[in-house]
Amino acid sequence: MPLDPERDAAFLCDICKHAEDDAPRLIYADWLEENGEPLSVSARVARHRRITRDAKKKMVPAAP
């Protein structure tokens, strides 16, 4: 099932409005998965990468 901007608009709007919150992305990923859309995997991988990136930014280098 290809992405349909009209059908997916509410999800995408909520994701944009709450850019720092992963919940709308995960809700959309769940919905995509339930509807047989392989993009759900990409949404989950993107979230994992973001969490990993954010964690690396917060790491403090070890003192010599």
Which DSSP string do the residues of 14-45 spell out, in sequence order?
Answer: HHHHTTT-SHHHHHHHHHHHHTT-THHHHHHH
Output the pTM of the full model.
Answer: 0.61
The predicted model gives 23-42 an average pLDDT of: 81
What residues does each domain of the chain span?
Answer: 7-55
The predicted model gives 14-38 an average pLDDT of: 84
**pLDDT score, position 41:** 73
The predicted model gives 1-20 an average pLDDT of: 81
**pLDDT score, position 17:** 92
Considering the chain, what is the average pLDDT of its residues?
77
pLDDT in tens, 38-61: 776 777 777 767 777 776 677 766
